[in-house]
Structure formats: C-alpha cells, structure tokens
Structure 1
Amino acid sequence: MRPNIKNIAVLTSGGDAPGMNACIRAVVRTGIYNGINMFGVLQGYQGLITNNIIPMDARSVSNIIHMGGTILKTARCLEFKTDEGMALAYENLKAHNIDALVVIGGDGTFTGARRFAQKHGVHVIGVPGTIDNDLYGSDFTLGYDTAMNTVIEAIDKIRDTADAHDRLFFVEVMGRDSGCIALRSAVACGAEAVLLPEKETSIDDLVKQLGAGAVTKKTSSIVIVSEGHKQGGAYDIAKHVKEKFDHYDTKVTILGHLQRGGSPSSFDRILASRLGYAAVNELLKGSSEMMVGLRGNEIALTSLDEALTEHNFKLESDLLEMTHVLSI
C-alpha cells in the first residue's frame, strides 16, 4: 500500500562529498512539488538526537547546486548506534510529524538508516554519497567523479615537476577499503604503478617494475598509493623503495581532504539531481529500506541489506591490466 506521507526530512551523514547539496536541492523541491512538507536535519544523525530539525522551502535550496560540502552539515554520531539514541531520534521525528527520511551518505549512514527503519518503522530511502564509489548497486556514487577530476588535475601538475627534476613521486589518494580512485586515476594520468587495497603488491615487485622503466630511460615516475594499502601509506612505501632503488630523487604527496572539496562536476550535479528526485518519488510509491542508484544510465533500486553486504565489488580487470601494459 502507498503510505500516507505528508512530511519528509533529508539529512547528510558521514564524510561529505561533492554533489550532496545538489541532491538536497532535488529532494526538497521534488517533495514540495508533490505537496509534501520538507524538513532538513542539521549535522546528520546527531541532529536527529538533538532535535536540530528545520523546515525547508524551495528558496532554502536556492543557489546551492554548484557548492561543495553540505549546507545541512554532517557529523559522525556514536550515540545513534545505541537503542536509547535511536529512541530519542524517533521521538524527535514524531514531534515534527515526519513520516519518512532521505539519507545521503555511505555505508555507515546506510547501516544506521537500516537499523532505524527496522527498529522504529520509519520509511527510509538512501542516496549513495561517497567519493570512494564503493557501494554495491550503483555504478557511480555522488562525489566520485568530482574527486577523480581533482586527483587527475593534481597528478598532472605533479608530473610536470617530476619530469623537470627526474623524480619519483608517490601520491597517496583516498580509499581505505576501495581502490576505485587510485586505479582510475592511475590509468587517466599514465602512472607507472598503482597500489590498491584489493591487490597484494610487494615492495620487491614495485621496485622491479620501477627498475624496468629506468632501464628504458624513463626520466620520472608516478606511483599512486591508495591509503588502505597493506604495505602502509605513501611515506612508508616511499621509504622502503628508497632503500632498494635510488635511481630517482623520491618525493611524497598526500592529497588528503583536497579530494573531498570543490564544486561538483556536471556529472555529479546531474547524478545528484536524478537520485534526489528518485528518492522522494520512491518514498511516495511506498518503497523503504532501499537505495536509489545508477546502473547503466538508468535509476535502479537496491535494498540497503544488499548494498551493505555486497560492499566490496571487483575492480575492472581490464583497468588492472592496463596499468601494467600502458606504463612501459
């Protein structure tokens, strides 16, 4: 049965990602277009517990589609993991007569949303917002394309100075559990090597690969390191490589939170708008405990259970092979 939904709230939780504001805009305006009263929850699940909930109208989301970050703010909330915290959050929702939630975030956000829905019967739809692109059920997550563009621009500039000084640069990118950013940026930037959480690469293997390039008179090299690689971060790996391979002057750059910020790309703005629009429409149809995602340029639904349990999907085998073939 289609639920009698009259009031919907939207929140952002976990790490911020470019495109979150564009999604908030789409959620709010789609709800208002359908005669729904819209609310925003400030500071994610923390805002549910502290009752930091505000009404939103169409003008509340004017001129934000191009902005990075999130106007609703975000925070990690340990209290929401407790039964008492969830109960308080539910009471605050009831006080505002809120019938349903749109939650924008990653796996931690969806874990909380799923438990909240199952424990208190709240209608919930998730929108995948994470630069890591590591949620099952969507080919792309909000912020991933923008983060990739940021990484590629930075590495292109690093390549210029690496060439000028015959240097070996280790560039660390985000991705504690997922190598999506590292792998694709390696192909896009012509990196000589890439180290991924999903793939075992020893220091000896890396040294051998760099040595082959030196033999063919490569004057500089770029190694992209995903922050979750088992051998450690870029500084640790650079130190070990330097001990065995001193052909180049070795430098390290950690891009860090630079990857999270900035104006969202056109792709992320459109994706955010499509997913926000779909999230509200799915709630009005009666869907709950589902994630809206993009598969083959079509909007598709995935249960939160499946999105979370199938978390680690395989990286593209052709891209993995290309990092070796095209770096000779």
Structure 2
Amino acid sequence: MKKIGVLTSGGDSPGMNAAIRAVVRKAIYHGVEVYGVKYGFAGLISNDIDKLEIGDVGDIIHRGGTKLYTARCEEFKTPEGRQVAVDNLNALGIEGLVVIGGDGSFQGAEKLTEIGYPTIGVPGTIDNDIPGTDYTIGFDTALNTVINAIDKIRDTATSHERTYVIEVMGRNAGDLALWSGLADGAETILIPEEDHNMEDIISRLKRGHERGKKHSIIIVAEGVGSGPEFGQKIKDATELETRVTVLGHIQRGGSPTGYDRVLASRLAANAVELLLDGEQGRMVGISNNKVVHRNISEALAEKHVVDSDMYKLSQELSI
C-alpha cells in the first residue's frame, strides 16, 4: 500500500488523538502517505479527506477528544452510502482504512470489508465493551475521572452525613461502574450484567446507618437505569438524606492517562502493520499486555461480559 486513511467515529474517548498520531507516524515511517477523514463515516461520504503530514499530529498526544472530529452518519448505513464512501477513497488512491471507535464504528468497518475494502478496527471507547481486548482506549482515563469525582463527593457526603447516588456512563456495559465502585469503596454497585435486589440495597443502607455509618456511596451504571430514579426510591424507603450526581460527559474529556497514551500508540501502530501485511476485517486489541488481533465479525458476534469475581469482591468488601 502507498496510501491509507484514518478516521474516528462514534463517541470520542481520551487517547484517540494518540492513536491518530501513531497511525500517521507509523505509516510515514514505512513510506506510506496518510489521509485523515474528518467527521467519521460522514466524512467519507462528503469527501472531507485531507493528507496528513508528521507536523499535523504534533502536540496532540496529550489532548483529549479527537483532532479528526466525529459524527453519526445514517447515510453510511445504506449500501448506496457505503459505495459513495468507497468511491471517494478509491478516487484518492487510498487503499486501506484504520477505523478508531466503538462497536458502532466496528460495524461500519465490517461493512466496508464485506464489499472488499481493506479496513482495520482500533477499539476506542470509554465503555470498555469491545470483546477481543482487555481494555479499550479511553477507559482508563474515564475511570480515573470518575474516581476523582467520587473522591470529592465523598468529602461532602461525610460532612453532611448523606447518601449519594452517582450515575456513571458505560452504555450497556458495567465496567466503569464496577471498577470505580471497587476503587472507591462504594457500598452498592449496580451494573447491567448483574441482577440487583432493591430490598437488599435498602436493608444494607439501614443497617449501616444504625451502626453509625456517616455516609453511603451507591454507583449506578447508566445501562441499569436512571440515577435520579434510584435516588428517589432510596430516599422514600429509608428517609435518609439522599443526593444524586449524574457525572455525564465529563467522563469523556480530559488529557489521557499514560496508560491510554501507550495503549493507543501500540494498537494504532499495529493496525497500520496489519494493513501493510495485507490483512483486512481485523481488529487490534490488548490481551495480557500483548497486542493481539482477530476478525471484527467474531468480536461483534460475542457478548460483552464483566469480571464476575471482581463484582463478587466488591460485595464482600462493602459489608
């Protein structure tokens, strides 16, 4: 290959810029031109594609968000839209594409592969919900953002002797809630992958209050339900002073952690290697700290799971 493209799609995640940088510099190192596609798959259809040089990705490794921007694109979901995208790539002589994003982005990459266009997926999402990799780009940064917020909330929860319900992101995955809840000693963690008993939650809160516990922290993954609704249920059942915080999109922003910068660099560079080796329809990932790759279609066919042992531990430690 002499020319490849790179795009970011779906929800942004800290570390995407580090991944873009790695794609560009790894490709140029091997004498390959790189073209950046703005606004994800929408940019493929609108032909918003520009050549990237080494200097274009300087001073971005530490920045959150994505230099190439991101957007949803309904037109790309149609065969006609995808054909326009491929025609635009072919017209520029771009022979392969690196797609950085979550499962929706991977579905788009899979569709391009099905019509014969070489594509490699790089998992970038704070949800950590892509099978085939231990971690996705952005998860570690978002996790630390959540932990930092909970630490601050705990200070005021203690001062006022309140129960706090904190809703975190993650879509249909509970990793952010589970990891942050365990790291911050939450009394209860509600995640989509595990059933919960509201009566048991209320009972535990009452027992804690009776033995003199000054505050309680409850983490709710957005895939379980609304934090404000859970907060109202708890307040009605316990009569404890209860407050709710929905952390929202603050979890997506910020400078990526060292781990996410390194992870993004390793995965994105390997994606370029796969394209140059003639691979397509593959995704890169990390497993036991080793870079691995597998078919995107296999990953999309699997269901995301959380570490059940970690969930059990969180319950044992929150007695």
User: What interval of TM-score do these two structures reach, taking the shorter chain for normalisation?
Assistant: over 0.9
Q: Give distance in 1, aligned partners of 2:204 and 2:9.
A: 41
Shift of 1:207: 0.5
Shift of 1:326: 1.2
After superposition, residues 78-227 of structure 1 pair within 5 angstroms as: 78-119=74-115, 121-227=116-222
CA contact 1:104–1:128 (8 Å) conserved in 2: yes
Structure 1 match to 2:263: 271
Amino acid at match of 1:264: P
Q: Give distance in 1, aligned partners of 2:178 and 2:230.
A: 17
Shift of 1:205: 2.0
After superposition, residues 312-327 of structure 1 pair within 5 angstroms as: 312-313=304-305, 315-327=306-318
Q: Give distance in 2, aligned partners of 1:166 and 1:159.
A: 10
TM-score (normalised: structure 1): 0.96
Structure 2 match to 1:74: 70
3-state SS in 1 of match to 2:284: strand
CA contact 2:112–2:118 (8 Å) conserved in 1: no
Please, which of 18, 22, 31 is the counterpart of residue 18 of structure 2?
22
Structure 2 match to 1:32: 28
Amino acid at match of 2:16: M
Shift of 1:317: 2.3
Residue-by-residue CA offset, 1:151-189 (whole Å, 9 max, x unaligned): 000000000000000000000000221000000101100
Amino acid at match of 1:24: I
Q: Give distance in 1, aligned partners of 2:5 and 2:113.
A: 14
Amino acid at match of 1:322: L
CA contact 2:132–2:285 (8 Å) conserved in 1: yes
Say whether 1:291 aligns with 2:279. Answer: no
Residue-by-residue CA offset, 1:265-303 (whole Å, 9 max, x unaligned): 000000000011100011111111000100001000121
Q: Give distance in 1, aligned partners of 2:178 and 2:102.
A: 20
Please, which of 8, 12, 17 is the counterpart of residue 12 of structure 1?
8
CA contact 2:19–2:268 (8 Å) conserved in 1: yes
3-state SS in 1 of match to 2:311: helix
Please, which of 229, 237, 258 is the counterpart of residue 230 of structure 2?
237
Residue-by-residue CA offset, 1:108-160 (whole Å, 9 max, x unaligned): 000011011112x1111100000000001110000000000000000000000
**Identity across the alignment (%):** 51
Unaligned 5+ segments in structure 1 are: none
Unaligned 5+ segments in structure 2 are: none
Shift of 1:264: 0.1
Q: Give distance in 2, aligned partners of 1:205 and 1:223.
A: 13
Q: How many residues align?
A: 319
CA contact 1:176–1:197 (8 Å) conserved in 2: no
Amino acid at match of 2:3: N
Say whether 1:252 aligns with 2:244. Answer: yes
Amino acid at match of 1:159: R
Amino acid at match of 2:184: C
Shift of 1:204: 1.3
Amino acid at match of 1:239: Q
When the two chains are superposed, the root-mean-square deviation of aligned CA atoms in Å is 0.8
Once superposed, which parts of structure 1, at least 4 consecutive aligned residues long, lie more than 3 Å away?
none
